Structure 1
Amino acid sequence: MWVVPESEIAGLMTPEAAFDAVEAVFAAMARGDARNFPVVREAIGHEDALYGFKGGFDGAGMTLGLKAGGYWPNNAGHGLINHQSTVFLFDPDTGRVSAAVGGNLLTALRTAAASAVSSKYLAPQGAKVLGMIGAGHQSAFQMRAAVRFGNFEKVIGWNPHPDMLTRLADTAAELGLPFEAVDLPTLGEQADVIVSITSAFEPLLLDGHVKGPTHIAAMGTDTKGKQELDPALVARARLFTDEVAQSLSIGEFQHAAAQKLISESDVIPLGQVITGQHEGRGNAEITIFDGTGVGLQDLAVARAVVELAKEQGKATKVEI
C-alpha cells in the first residue's frame, strides 16, 4: 500500500491537475462509466461532529475507493481545520487496499475544481465580475480556481461576519484583482459568476437579487436542511449538479423540490454538458450548479496525487 501524507499534498497536487481529474470524472459519470455509492453521513453524538463515507467506482479510470471523514466544528480549539478526511484506494482487480492519502487539502482542491469546471461550461460569455458569498477556509480555494480558469477583472464579496472579509480581500490582492465588499443585492446585480460557499440553513441570495445573465455555483456544506439560495431563484434557473439524487436530498435543490417548484427531470448532470449530451447554458439567463461533492471526485484527485507522489519519490510503501 502506498501512503501519501497530508503534509506532501500541497507540493504535489496542482489546481490544473485537480481540474482535469474532476472534469474527466464528471464526463465518465455522464457516459455511465463511473458511479457513486450511497453516502453515509451521521452525527456521532460527540463534539457536534458529522462523520461519513463517500465512495464509488470509475471504470474508465479504474479507480475504486472511499473517503472517510467529516466535519468537526470545534477543531479550532485543537489547532485543526474543521473538515478532516482520508482517502483510501483499492485495487479493482483484487480488492486489496492500494493507497491511503491525506484528504483535507485534496477535498478543498477538488471542491474548487468542481466549481471552476461548472463556470467553464456554464458562465455567461464575457464574464468579468466574480461574486463571492462566504469567507471561510474554502473561499480562498474557490476564488483561486475561478480566477485561474476564467477571465475576471474584479471580485466582489459578502460574508455574514464582515470581519472575515479580509480573507477575500487578501486572496484577490494575491491574484492581482481589485476587491470590493458589497451587500447581497449589489452582489447579485453586478456579478456575472457567483460562488456561494457557506454553511447556511436559510436563503442568503434571494430571487430579486440576481439580475442579468449569471452563473451561480452553490458549493456550501451539503446536509439535510442546507440552504444558500432562494427556492424561487432556483425555480427560474437552468439547473446542473454533480449527482442528481444527492442534490435533491441533501443539496441546494432539496427545498425547491420539496415545494414542488422543480422536479428531478429539471436537474441535469454537469457531465452531460462536458460530453456534449446537453447544450448547457443555451438561452437561459441564470444557471446554477449545485456542487454536492461526490466520492468519485475525491478518488480522481487521490489517484492523480498518488501517481505524482510515486514519480517524485514522496509516497511511502508499507505492507499490511
Structure 2
Amino acid sequence: MNAPDKTATAANMVTIVPESEIGGLMDAASAFDAVEATFAAMARGDAYNFPVIREAIGHADALYGFKSGFDKAALALGLKSGGYWPGNEARGLTNHQSTVILFDADTGRVKALVGGNLLTALRTAAASAVSIAHLSRKDSKVLGMVGAGHQSAFQMRAACAQRDFDKVVGWNYHPEMLSRLEDTAKELGLPFEAVEREDLCAQADVIITITSSHDAQLMADWVKPGTHVACMGTDTKGKQEVDPALLARASVFTDEVAQSVTLGEAQHAVAQGLIKEADITPIGAVIEGTAKGRTSDDQVTLFDGTGVGLQDLAVAAKVVDLALKAGKAQQVPF
C-alpha cells in the first residue's frame, strides 16, 4: 500500500474555529483594526462586496441570507451565511446566528469554517466605533443608546473605547430590557439614566441606534447640533430607525453606498427624494483622507452602518490566525 501523501493531505485540511473559542481569541480592539482596514481597502478599490441575499424564509419569522466579498490585498475571499431568528432568545440562544466560510483565493478550496455569532457582534460594534473615532466631536461626553438588545452591550463598550464619555442615557421600546444598558454602563464605570427619546437626543453627543425597527424612532428636529448618529440596525429593505429628514439635515456616511441606498437607513431618504446617492460618503474615504469627515462642531454627522460581508471576512481571517497561533483551531481533512 502506498504511503499517504502528506503534502496533499495538508493542502486539503480545513481549519475550524468553533464559536466557543472566539471569545478567548478576538477582542474589540482587534475587531476595530480589522474593520477600519477593510473600510480603507474598499475606498482604495482593493476590496469589494458582492450583492447581498437576505430573505424572509416563511418559517419561525426568520430572515436568512448571505454576505460575501473579496479583498484582493488581503486575499480574503468568502461568505457569511446566517440571519435573524427572533424566537431564539426564549430558547437561550442569540437571535442572530451565522457562520463564516473562507476560501483560498488562489484555488477556490474551502480554507476555514468559523463561528460567526460573536464575530458579528464584534464587527458590528467595531463599525460604529470606527465612525465615532472619525466623525464624532472629540469632546463628546454623553452617549445615547437607542435599543437594549444583545448587540447593545457590544456597541456601548466599543463606543466608550473611542471617546471619554462621562454618562450614558438610554431608551428601549421594552423598558424592562434597559437593565442590560445599565449593567454595561456600570461595568464601564459610567452612570446610566433611562430617558425618553426626545430627552436622549437633547443630552447625547453621540447616539447609537441598534434596533430591529420598521418605523422611525428618532425625529430630525430632536437631534441637537454637533451630534454624531450611528444607525446600526437597518440592514434590510423596510427597516428604519430614524426620520428620513435627519439624513437630509446631516452629513451622511456609510460602509457601502450601494447597500446604504437599497437596504440601509438611506433607503427611505433616497426614495423620498430628500437625498441622492451622491450625497453619501463612504467612511473608508474619510479614513484614507480622500474625503472630508466632520468639518465643524455644529455639524450633524450620521453613519449608516449596513454591515458588509468584507467586515465578516476580515474578522474571521484574523481569528483564524489567532486560533492557529494559540493552538485553539481544529484542522480536519476535507
1:285 aligns with 2:299: yes
1:229 aligns with 2:242: yes
CA contact (8 A) 2:234 2:305 kept: no
- Unaligned runs of 5+ residues in structure 2 are 1-13
> What is aligned with 2:329?
315
> What is aligned with 1:174?
187
> What is aligned with 1:205?
218
Aligned residues: 320
> What is aligned with 1:34?
47
CA contact (8 A) 1:189 1:212 kept: no
> What is aligned with 1:78?
91
CA–CA separation in structure 2 for the residues paired with 1:314 and 1:221:
34
In the alignment, which of 299, 302, 306 is matched to residue 316 of structure 2?
A: 302
> What is aligned with 1:103?
116
CA–CA separation in structure 2 for the residues paired with 1:200 and 1:101:
29
CA contact (8 A) 2:234 2:265 kept: no
Deviation at 1:48, TM superposition (A): 1.3
CA–CA separation in structure 1 for the residues paired with 2:110 and 2:141:
45
CA contact (8 A) 2:234 2:241 kept: no
CA–CA separation in structure 1 for the residues paired with 2:332 and 2:198:
54
Letter in 1 for 2:263: I
Aligned-pair Cα RMSD in Å: 0.8
> What is aligned with 1:142?
155
> What is aligned with 2:264?
251
1:208-265 Cα deviation digits (max 9, x unpaired): 2111210000001411111111111111100000011111111101111000000000
Letter in 2 for 1:130: L
CA–CA separation in structure 1 for the residues paired with 2:97 and 2:173:
24
Letter in 2 for 1:298: D
What SS is found at the alignment partner of 1:224?
Answer: coil
What SS is found at the alignment partner of 1:8?
Answer: helix
What SS is found at the alignment partner of 2:333?
Answer: coil
Deviation at 1:75, TM superposition (A): 1.4
> What is aligned with 1:154?
167
> What is aligned with 2:6?
none
- Unaligned runs of 5+ residues in structure 1 are none
Letter in 2 for 1:164: M
> What is aligned with 1:238?
251
Letter in 1 for 2:302: I
CA contact (8 A) 2:16 2:329 kept: yes
Letter in 2 for 1:121: H
CA–CA separation in structure 2 for the residues paired with 1:273 and 1:262:
20
CA–CA separation in structure 2 for the residues paired with 1:78 and 1:228:
27
Deviation at 1:148, TM superposition (A): 1.5
Deviates more, 1:145-154 or 1:301-310: 145-154
Deviation at 1:149, TM superposition (A): 2.1
